[in-house]
């Protein structure tokens, strides 16, 4: 199993910041690495450089800190301008980063926009949605897996089917159809046979395997025992032939040989009635009599008795009609950008893609804003930011399908400043001083550090120091991109020389009186020191030893107080800084007490030679080094 760098190497140890560019003195850098000076023999070549502890700590710290980012969060942190020499790093399309606690993927090549720009970046969709989230349409950045989608679609289809089933015709239903061709899944009621194994639902209604033949027939409600049809014993689908009710006509005079009662009577000419084979009556009347429409005219005669009618085709529904898919409708609207943070007064074009794409032309998108005081959107999807706040942009289709995108409108920064950060020591907490212009700007401010192992910043601007070295703190407007950076130097906490602690300052004998207390101090030979909680090296005349190495550029002529100092990098031991030899070593300084004078002893780390010199006078003058 690979090592998990819970703590980056030398997180709180001594280390130096390795520069990116090549260095004039040939010290280690990321461009060149370890220069040829590190191969030179230390005992003979004045340009030779040892591979120092702090340099190694610095290199390994940078490597393990970067590895820990990948181990703990999968994607690297966003590279801001401060990390890249003042220029925004151009990301390629498809690169993923972590920014302000969220993960984003670049949508364009040479992308220098902040990840909060919804036109250039998109939040990474990497979390699987739960079935409840799929069913309720919750979560803009979740992955829907095929099993969950299948269950959702099946449940949706079942629910829809159950809802509309009471309104659907079952298989076997007969309806009138106004066309010569039945629709798919329907048959003409012409007595034709059907495949009973293929249409089990239709067979349940018509067990004979034939649909009824309703051509030329009018449908009469089945009497089912009712006396509305004198043949109430008829079975379902039985045919009843046409018939005519009996009639009697009574003329108003007897001119035609029939009296008003319908009996034969005297007349000029007898009435003659004959029936032909078509059951059509021919009536012969006396000259002054008449029988027919209007008492004489053109009678309505035909070969059948019928009502006025319109010809339509009776069709019957089959099992196949149950399985015919409904006309497709859109199932999604892909809105871009999918989220948005903008400034007051700006505009943003929204676009929507209806899915499936082939239906887009049939279903135009309607746009609206949930809060028009914050922002409005026109029919073409152009959004205008009016005031600070939040609003939802809603894309809707005529089917009722809609998608929401949340828009945050801010008062944007025009500039931002960060006060200089004083030097810190490990373990300090410092509140950054940030000034915004305008003062009522509402956009979020983001804080970042080039090395969180040295100094990190909370979301509310508090700086915490945890390691020695130097880090760059950057403050950025989340939407405007206005940015400012400051460097913070963090040193190790100075050691506290503590040699003697006297509890309660002899207060435990206070009751004995002041005289007794003074006697106790005299006996301890501490005098006024007995009144202190702790004693420093100066109080007791001890020789102070520095806890950190001399920094590059420190001139030995400035070290005139008692103490022991270390130089760990030979390249820092320069003649112009009054080193006796161009080799790292240890320096001891002894105050002589005359005219601010002192003596210095320098001991190179790679030999037994000691270099000595002295200084006195006003102004102070150092004399030449001598080797011993």
What pLDDT digit, counting tens, does each position of 593-609 carry?
A: 887 899 999 999 889 99
Rounded to the nearest 5 percent, the helix, strand and coil shares of the chain are 20, 25, 55
Question: Given strand 375-377, what is the order of strands in its sheet?
Answer: 347-349, 382-385, 375-377
pLDDT at 259: 53
Q: Which residue has the tokens 């320096």?
A: 587
The answer to whether residues 618 and 556 belong to one domain is yes
The answer to whether residues 418 and 462 belong to one domain is yes
Looking at 459, 491, 523, the residue that finishes a domain is 491
The phi and psi torsions of 563 (rounded to 5 degrees) equal 160, 165
On the question of a cis peptide bond just before residue 460, with omega within 30 degrees of 0, the verdict is: no
Taking only Cα atoms into account, the Rg of the chain, rounded to an integer number of angstroms, comes to: 52
The answer to whether residues 530 and 542 belong to one domain is no
For residue 610, which of 619, 601, 618 has the smallest C-alpha distance? 601
Q: How many CB atoms lie within 10 A of CB 480?
A: 21
- At 82 the three-state DSSP class reads helix
User: Residue 418 in contact with residue 475, Cβ under 8 Å?
Assistant: yes
User: Residue 35 in contact with residue 26, Cβ under 8 Å?
Assistant: yes
Looking at 288, 321, 354, the residue that finishes a domain is 321
The answer to whether residues 428 and 463 belong to one domain is yes
Residue 597, in any domain of the structure: yes
Half-sphere exposure of 113 (CA within 13 A, CB side): 18
Residue 152, in any domain of the structure: no
The answer to whether residues 523 and 559 belong to one domain is no
Residue 94, in any domain of the structure: no
pLDDT at 60: 93
| DSSP characters over 7-67 | S-TTSSS---PPPSSPPTT---BTTTBS-GGGGS-TTT-TT-----HHHHHHHHHHHHHHH
Residues 524, 529, 534, 538, Cα dihedral to 10° = -110
User: Residue 103 in contact with residue 75, Cβ under 8 Å?
Assistant: yes
How far apart (Å, rounded) are the C-alpha atoms in residues 562 and 106?
59
Q: How many CB atoms lie within 10 A of CB 403?
A: 19
The phi and psi torsions of 566 (rounded to 5 degrees) equal -125, 140
The answer to whether residues 192 and 317 belong to one domain is yes
Residue 343, in any domain of the structure: no
Q: How many CB atoms lie within 10 A of CB 11?
A: 20
Give the helix/strand (H/E) hosting 585: strand 585-591
The answer to whether residues 567 and 512 belong to one domain is no
User: Residue 299 in contact with residue 160, Cβ under 8 Å?
Assistant: no
For residue 469, which of 31, 32, 61 has the smallest C-alpha distance? 61
Residue 237, in any domain of the structure: no
The answer to whether residues 207 and 180 belong to one domain is yes
Domain CATH code at residue 474: 2.60.40.10
Residue 279, in any domain of the structure: no
Low-confidence ranges of the chain (pLDDT < 70): 1, 126, 141, 245-302, 322-326, 495-511, 520-542
For residue 451, which of 72, 101, 83 has the smallest C-alpha distance? 83
Give residue 546's domain range: 537-627
The answer to whether residues 473 and 596 belong to one domain is no
Angle 561-567-573 from CA coordinates, rounded to 5°: 100
Total domain count, the chain: 4
Cβ neighbors of 274 (< 8 A, separation 6 or more) are 281, 282
For residue 571, which of 7, 16, 5, 8 has the smallest C-alpha distance? 16
The answer to whether residues 541 and 529 belong to one domain is no
Residues 265, 266, 268, 273, Cα dihedral to 10° = 30
For residue 53, which of 25, 8, 16, 23 has the smallest C-alpha distance? 16
Which one-letter DSSP state was computed for residue 550? P
User: Residue 596 in contact with residue 560, Cβ under 8 Å?
Assistant: yes
Give the helix/strand (H/E) hosting 524: helix 514-524
The answer to whether residues 613 and 543 belong to one domain is yes
Alpha-carbon separation of residue 46 from 141, 388, 570 (angstroms): 62, 65, 9
Q: What is the pTM of this model?
A: 0.37
The phi-psi region of residue 578 (left if phi > 0; otherwise alpha if psi is between -120 and 50; otherwise beta) is left
How far apart (Å, rounded) are the C-alpha atoms in residues 585 and 566?
6
Cβ neighbors of 428 (< 8 A, separation 6 or more) are 463, 464, 465, 490
Domain CATH code at residue 176: 3.90.1340.10
pLDDT at 296: 47
For residue 256, which of 279, 283, 293 has the smallest C-alpha distance? 283
Residue 458, in any domain of the structure: yes
The answer to whether residues 462 and 529 belong to one domain is no
How far apart (Å, rounded) are the C-alpha atoms in residues 19 and 33?
10
How far apart (Å, rounded) are the C-alpha atoms in residues 199 and 296?
59
pLDDT, tens digit, 9 for 90 and up, residues 26-55: 899 998 899 888 988 888 887 889 999 999
Residue 541, in any domain of the structure: yes
């Amino acid at each position: 199993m690979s090592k998990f760098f819970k703590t980056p190497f030398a997180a709180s140890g001594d280390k130096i910041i390795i520069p990116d560019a090549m260095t004039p003195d040939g010290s280690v850098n990321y461009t060149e690495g370890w220069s040829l000076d590190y191969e030179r023999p230390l005992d003979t070549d004045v340009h030779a450089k040892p591979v120092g502890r702090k340099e190694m700590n610095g290199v390994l710290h940078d490597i393990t800190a970067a590895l820990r980012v990948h181990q703990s969060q999968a994607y690297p942190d966003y590279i801001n301008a401060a990390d890249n020499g003042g220029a925004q790093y151009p990301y390629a399309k498809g690169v993923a980063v972590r920014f302000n606690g969220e993960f984003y993927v670049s949508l364009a090549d040479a992308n220098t926009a902040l990840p909060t720009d919804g036109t250039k970046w998109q939040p990474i969709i990497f979390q699987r949605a739960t079935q409840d989230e799929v069913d309720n349409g919750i979560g803009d950045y979740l992955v829907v897996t095929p099993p969950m989608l299948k269950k959702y679609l099946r449940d949706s289809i079942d629910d829809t089917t159950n809802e509309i089933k009471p309104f659907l015709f079952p298989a076997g239903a007969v309806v009138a159809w106004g066309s010569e061709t039945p629709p798919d899944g329907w048959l003409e009621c012409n007595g034709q046979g059907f495949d009973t194994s293929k249409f089990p639902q239709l067979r349940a209604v018509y067990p004979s395997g034939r649909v009824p033949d309703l051509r030329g027939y009018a449908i009469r409600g089945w009497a089912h025992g009712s006396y509305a049809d004198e043949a109430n014993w008829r079975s379902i689908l039985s045919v009843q032939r046409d018939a005519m009710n009996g009639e009697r006509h009574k003329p108003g005079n007897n001119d035609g040989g029939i009296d008003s009662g319908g009996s034969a009577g005297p007349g000029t000419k007898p009435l003659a009635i004959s029936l032909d084979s078509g059951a059509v009556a021919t009536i012969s009347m006396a000259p002054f009599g008449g029988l027919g429409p209007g008492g004489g005219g053109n009678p309505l005669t035909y070969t059948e008795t019928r009502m006025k009618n319109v010809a339509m085709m009776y069709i019957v529904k089959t099992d196949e009609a149950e399985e015919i898919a409904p006309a497709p409708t859109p199932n999604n609207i892909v809105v871009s950008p999918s989220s948005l943070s903008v400034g007051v007064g700006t505009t943003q074009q929204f676009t929507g893609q209806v899915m499936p794409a082939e239906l887009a032309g049939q279903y135009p998108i309607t746009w609206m804003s949930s809060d028009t005081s914050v922002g409005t959107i026109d029919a073409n999807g152009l959004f205008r930011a009016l005031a600070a706040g939040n609003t939802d942009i809603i894309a809707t289709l005529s089917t009722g399908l809609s998608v929401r995108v949340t828009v945050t409108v801010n008062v944007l920064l025009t500039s931002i400043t960060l006060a200089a950060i004083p030097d810190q020591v490990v373990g300090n907490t410092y509140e950054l001083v940030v000034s915004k212009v305008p003062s009522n700007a509402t956009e979020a401010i983001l804080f970042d550090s080039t090395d969180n192992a040295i100094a990190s910043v909370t979301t509310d601007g508090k700086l915490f120091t945890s390691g020695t070295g130097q880090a760059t703190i950057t403050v950025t407007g989340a939407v405007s991109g206005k940015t400012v950076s400051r460097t913070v130097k963090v040193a190790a906490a100075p050691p506290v020389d503590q040699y003697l602690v006297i509890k309660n300052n002899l207060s435990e004998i206070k009751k004995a009186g002041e005289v007794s207390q003074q006697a106790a101090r005299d006996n301890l030979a501490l005098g006024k020191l007995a009144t202190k909680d702790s004693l420093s090296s100066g109080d007791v005349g001890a020789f102070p030893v520095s806890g950190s190495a001399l920094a590059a550029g420190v001139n030995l002529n400035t070290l005139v107080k008692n103490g022991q100092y270390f130089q760990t990098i030979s390249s820092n031991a320069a003649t112009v800084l009054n080193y006796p030899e161009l080799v790292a070593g240890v320096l001891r300084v002894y105050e002589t007490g005359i005219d601010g004078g002192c003596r210095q002893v320098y001991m190179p780390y790679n030999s037994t030679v000691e270099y000595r010199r002295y200084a006195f006078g006003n102004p102070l003058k150092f004399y030449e080094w001598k080797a011993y």
